[in-house]
Amino acid sequence: MKKKGNNSGKILGVIGLGYVGLPLSLEFVRSGYKTIGFDIDEKKIKVLSSGNTYIKHIGENRVKEMIETGFFEPTSNFSRINEVDAISICVPTPLDAHRMPDLSYVIDSARMVSKNMKKGTLVILESTTYPGTTREVLLPILEDGDRKLDKDFFLAFSPEREDPGNKKYNTKNIPKVVGGISQNSTKIAVELYKTIFDAVVEVSSSEVAEATKLLENTYRSINIALVNELKVILDRMGINIWEVIEAAKTKPFGYTAFYPGSGLGGHCIPIDPFYLSWKARELGLNTRFIELAGEINTSMPEYVVEKTIFALSEHKKALRGSNILVIGVAYKKDIDDARESPGIRIMELLIERGANTSYYDPYIPEIKGFRQTDLVMKSVDLTDELLSGQDAVIISTAHSLIDYQKIYKNSSLIIDTRNALWGIKSDKITLA
């Protein structure tokens, strides 16, 4: 890992060493900044300190190199915030049980920063949230003790744009949107991030930056809901949605291909649009597109189970008592992240209906302690014997390294939600 060295006079901090904060820390170090990574999870600190990783697409070599530079130090000691010149907050922003924004991680982080930061610190929130959060929530916390914006500290918002598993785009080459609470805060944040990212997009305010991220993910949510709804309609007509999409995307203008599946997962698309809905309701406005898209996408696991029930009945079998194997519980292919995974929801529904359910995922060896489920299960070995003993196999996530020919050869019934067996025409394959 090369260090530029010309930035070594500044120390940067990152709060939250997860799927956003750890890649960001890597780029800080690559740009020659001494970086302190903060996290409350002692297990993460121990893993990183030993040069290992807990995020599969961020290889151990990258973490080891980062540690060996001497420019990165992970810690759970938040008093060391007083050592940094700028700090990026990259903590979760989930929904609570009532699908309301849960800003507790952001608020706790802001309080830690306020308690420990030195004069002149630049604070940048990267966690996705509703427009106004940086100004209405963080600013008052940081102003505690008569501190003044642009004098004692600077404050901006810069939305994370991570896409785990993407081979073309990474933290550094994805344009970085930045908007500050004030012009001076924007200027200082832009100047810093220009030394780290290939392109920085300056916007007029933190609210614009916050809304930019929500637009991006709401756009995806609505378009994925559209193709999921079309999948159901076209299936009833006997038309293959995947073939329709392949034909439609030959149009060189006015169309962007989106693909159906077993539902939406991850921390962004299933959650972020509801932050915008909540803020709109606060203003007395309805977000019908967003709500409808959410309803369609969250209903897809139920649709997959119904298709499984129908396919089993064609084989004169009932779901209750049947052996069902779910392939893939990560929320997208080739990553080890199962947050809000539709595959897990499918398993819950199968178990509720009396099916003997198991799963295989090379990236998720165990389901335990996940926020969205009480399930405790381990991934099984994908053997010929296991497959031949299943009444149905559901492909929920189509990882590249899975042997689909093996699945096809040894399975009696396959429910394919990802078109993983494209090109194979067989009565034992049901698209869902």
| Catalytic annotation, residues | 268
The residue written with tokens 């750890």 in the block is 22
Dihedral, CA atoms, 167, 170, 175, 178, nearest 10 degrees?
Answer: 150
Phi, psi of 76 (to 5 degrees): -105, 10
